[in-house]
Amino acid sequence: MKKSYVSLFLSLVVALMVAGCGGGQGQAPQAGGEANAGNAGAGQVEKLKVGIMSGPEEDIWKVVKEVAAKDSLDLELIVFSDYVQPNKVLEDGQLDANAFQHVPYLEEFNAGQGTHIVKLADTINYPIGMYSKKVKDVSELKEGDLVGLPNDPTNGARALILFEQAGLIKLKEGVGVKATVRDIVDNPKKLEFKEMDAAFLTKALDDLAAAVINSNFAIESGLVPTKDAIFMEPKDSPWVNIIAVREADNDKPVFQKLVKAFHSDEVKKLVTEKYGDSMVTAW
C-alpha cells in the first residue's frame, strides 16, 4: 500500500512538471514596439510608433495604418503640430519613425542638433504656396508690403526661392537651400519680410500682404492650395517629404513593411481623389 502511494505521488509530480513546461502555449504574443522591430516570428504582430503632423497627414496615415494591419504591423500614430519635436523624440527613442520633413530640413536639423536620423523612403510632395487675403495676384503686391515666410532655415529658403520664382526678388547666385533674407540682392518693391513659426503663418494672414505657407498648415486651416494660392511651386518640386528613422535602425526588416504600407494603392487613391494637385505621391 505504501508503495502505491509513493507511485501515485511521483505520477502527480511528473504531470505537474509537464503542465508547467507547456503553460505558455497558445498565449497571444506581446508586441513591444522598437524592441520587437525586425524580430517577430511568422504571424506575430509587430508594433511601431510613428510621429506625424496634424492635418491632412492624419487622413493619410489612417489609411497607412489600415493597410499595415493586414501585414501584421500595428502602427501607433503620434500627432505633432510643430517641426522640432518629432525629430527630438525620435532621436531619444520615444518614436520608431516619423514622417513630416524633407531631406534639406533633416540635414539641417542633424547638423544643428547632433541627431542621427536618416531617410527611409519618400512619401508625398507638398508644393508650397503663397497666400493672401488682400491681393489676387503677386503682381498686385505694392511697394513696402509686409510678407511672411517660415522661420526655420530650410523652409525659409524654400519660401525665398518661391518669392524669386514669382519675380518678386532676386537671390545671391548659388545660395540655393541655404538662402536667407540676407541673400536678397534685388527687391524692386522693397518688400519687408517677416519670419515666423510655420504653424502661425495662416493666423497672421490678416496682418500680412502675403505669406508663403507649407501646404499641410494651409490645408489644415481650410485653404485649398490649387485654388487659394496666388503662386505655387511646380508639381515636380524637389522638396519631397520622407519617412525618417534613427540611423541604427535603418536596416530593420519591419520598416520595409512600413514603406510597403505607405507606398500602397490605397494611399495613392486617397491622395489623388481627396487632395488632387495639392499633393503629389513620390513613388
Which of the two residues, 202 and 236, has the higher pLDDT score?
Answer: 202
| pLDDT tens digits along 118-175 | 999 999 998 899 999 999 999 999 999 999 999 998 899 999 999 999 999 999 999 9
Could you tell me the pTM of the whole model?
0.78
What mean pLDDT do residues 258-274 have?
A: 97
Q: Which of 21-30, 172-181, 233-242 has the highest mean pLDDT?
A: 172-181
Is the pLDDT assigned to residue 212 strictly greater than 80? yes
In the numeric block, the cell 545671391 is attached to 172
The pLDDT > 90 percentage for the chain reads: 78
| pLDDT tens digits along 54-69 | 999 999 999 999 999 9
Can you list the positions of beta strands (E) in the chain? 46-53, 73-80, 97-102, 117-125, 129-131, 146-150, 170-171, 184-186, 192-196, 210-213, 231-232, 240-246, 280-281
- Helix (H/G/I), strand (E/B), else coil: 181: helix
Going by pLDDT thresholds of 50, 70 and 90, the confidence category of residue 24 is very low
Going by pLDDT thresholds of 50, 70 and 90, the confidence category of residue 39 is low
Residue 42: the pLDDT is 58
| pLDDT tens digits along 44-53 | 999 999 999 9
